[in-house]
Amino acid sequence: MNPAIDQRRNQDEILAGGEFPLTRRDLAEIAQMIYSDAGIFLNETKASLVYSRLSKHIRQLGLRNFREYCDLVASPAGAAERREMLSFLTTNFTRFFRENHHFEHLRDEVMPGVISRLKAGGRVRFWSAASSDGQEPYSIALTAITALPNIADYDFKILATDIDPKILAAARLGAYDVSSLETVSPQMRKQWFREVTVDGKPKWQVVDALKRLITFNELNLMAAWPFKGKFDVIFCRNVVIYFDEPTQMRIWSRFSELLPEGGYLYIGHSERVSGEAKAHFDNTGITTYKYIGKSGGRKG
């Protein structure tokens, strides 16, 4: 038995079949690039997902197989396609007021203090990290402006970031199918959305007065964060679950550096703050964490 031959056979094993068979070697190379670029961890259980997300695009590129595709996106000439690959493999499921308990907490527990600070001349910043097509930051804005209708007159801003420039373009447009607004109250829909036609299809678009509360920027959570000040509230939900444990712990630690004492972090329903940062947060609700600072340890 030849170990080298066995290793080659193992690499050539097909993990997902179809028009373009996806081998173990192909998946390993794609996974390494995605992890290096975005911190997203893909193992062999994701082979079918990778195949379904990329096979149509490989056909459109005129390539013969995943091997040619891997060679392309790993090359300097394929830098743009490598970004496209990240867009295809990034999960962008979202909806207005998803995990509504967070928005109820924001409305009832956070906004009263925010309003007092704003009226006293203070500065307030919220961050929607991994904001997808904008439904999360617009939900935050709707919660804030409902609590304080003239909030635009104060020093209040929401930063919304995502790694995917295409999804950010959709977020800036802020136009959604009527089915996307099922979780938006009729009153909010009437006040903060207008009916438009986009590419011949009827849509509901966020009005400019709400859009002006939000700045959309491209940001990779694995890269440097160009922030000068702190955020009073950070939403980062159903994103960190796609990272491995060491990466998750780094992200929690970085978030803790950007929150003032008493600031809030909202995370996804399957996520938990871990690592050293855990000692600096109180779990005050369902996947809702209050930053308690680094001195004195955890408070009861």
Residue partners of 296: CB distance under 8 A and separation at least 6: none
CA-CA distance, 240 to 130, in Å (whole number)?
Answer: 10
3-state secondary structure of 112: helix
Distance (Å, whole) CA 10 – CA 255: 40
26, 162, 164, 232: which one is catalytic?
A: 162
| 24, 25, 37, 53: the active-site residue | 53
The per-residue DSSP string of 51-111 comes to: HHHHHHHHHHHT-SSHHHHHHHHTSGGGHHHHHHHHHHHS-----TTSSTHHHHHIIIIIH
CB 86 within 8 A of CB 163: yes
Q: Which of 17, 43, 68 is nearest to 243 (CA)?
A: 43
Is 162 annotated in the active site? Answer: yes
CA–CA dist 172, 133 (Å, integer)? 8
| Greatest distance between any 2 Cα atoms in the chain | 78
Q: Active-site residues: which are they? A: 53, 162
